[in-house]
Structure 1
Amino acid sequence: MATPVEHRAAVAQEKLADSADTLVDSAETQEDSASRRTKLAADRTLLAAERTYAAWMRTGLASLAAGIGAKALLDKLVAPWMVLATSLALIVFAGFCFVAGIWRELTGRSLRPAPDAAKFPEWLLLVFNGFLVVLVAMVLVGIAAD
């Protein structure tokens, strides 16, 4: 028969073993949690880069529309040279936005770890931006020739 002291020692040892198991489980959970947070951070970074690309495209399209609109609306209100200069400046800025947007998107740093979210195919972005740059060039020629 065990003495009360031996019994208390055995109970304390069991509690200590349970605490050690709990600490090991907690450490594994924290490691899994940190890994998941890092993966989610990569997803957020990818989505932020896509929002930045979209902002470049939005600004470029607005500038292109403003350049065309300035030519159409200001034609009879101000001097022709001013209309031409304003239109050309806005359209050149639109071209800059399209080129800068794709450059920023394609030269971004690689994400580690790889995000769960899928990236847009680079070829699709190049085709889209190439079309927009050609459109800007055609509008520039059209407005300058008018």
Structure 2
Amino acid sequence: MDAPHDADRAHAKLAESASTLKDSAVQQVDSADRRTELAIDRTILAGERTYAAWVRTGLAALASGIGARALLSDVVFPWLATATGTMLILFSAFCFVAAVWREMGAGAPPPRPDIRRLPAALLLIVNGFLVLVSLAALVGIWSARS
């Protein structure tokens, strides 16, 4: 008579084990999905750090171009000081354009990031203004008297 009772117990343990295995599989899928979401968030944030690096480099080149023109004009030939300033300022404008191009470039589309990307309009406005500043500085160093 114990055999049917043991069979019922074995059946219950098997059902419990199957349920536990099913729950574990769901947790693993959820965990993989969460890791994917976190990886996407890290990718977006890395892109923003790259954008900031381009802008930082552009601002440094802009300041260096203006400074080179001002400081080198008494040290080297005036045309060389102007050419050096010009190249640095043109490089700054390139950096501002590259920052937006790299940030807005098509990448792998994120399925569902937890964070939002920087608005494209904001990037275009800010970096467009910085390019205008670079061009104004370029005009300034070319029109300044040595």
Whether the TM-score (by the shorter chain) exceeds 0.5 is: yes
Q: Tell me whether 5-14 or 33-42 shows the greater mean CA deviation.
A: 5-14
TM-score, normalised to structure 2's length? 0.91
Matched positions, count: 144
TM-score, normalised to structure 1's length? 0.91
Counterpart among 5, 8, 30 of residue 10 in structure 1: 8
Aligned match of 1:70: 68
1:102 aligns with 2:100: yes
User: Quick one: distance in 2 between partners of 1:30 and 1:75?
Assistant: 66
* Alpha-carbon offset, residue 10 of structure 1: 2.9
Give the 4+ runs in structure 1 shifted more than 4 A.
none
Aligned match of 1:123: 121
Which amino acid in structure 1 is aligned with residue 67 of structure 2? G
Aligned match of 2:130: 132
* Alpha-carbon offset, residue 62 of structure 1: 0.4
Aligned match of 1:47: 45
* Alpha-carbon offset, residue 94 of structure 1: 0.3
SS of 1:46's equivalent in the other structure is helix
* Alpha-carbon offset, residue 123 of structure 1: 0.9
User: Quick one: distance in 1 between partners of 2:110 and 2:74?
Assistant: 56
Which amino acid in structure 2 is aligned with residue 38 of structure 1? T
Encode CA deviations 1:116-136: one digit per residue, 9 max, x unaligned.
101221111111011011111
Counterpart among 22, 28, 31 of residue 29 in structure 2: 31
User: Quick one: distance in 1 between partners of 2:69 and 2:88?
Assistant: 10
Structure 1 spans left out of the alignment, 5+ residues: none
Encode CA deviations 1:38-91: one digit per residue, 9 max, x unaligned.
111111111111111101000000000011111111121112122111111100
SS of 2:76's equivalent in the other structure is coil
Encode CA deviations 1:83-128: one digit per residue, 9 max, x unaligned.
1111111001000000111111112325321311012211111110
1:22 aligns with 2:20: yes
Q: Tell me whether 131-140 or 108-117 shows the greater mean CA deviation.
A: 108-117
Structure 2 spans left out of the alignment, 5+ residues: none
Which amino acid in structure 2 is aligned with residue 92 of structure 1? L
1:56 aligns with 2:54: yes
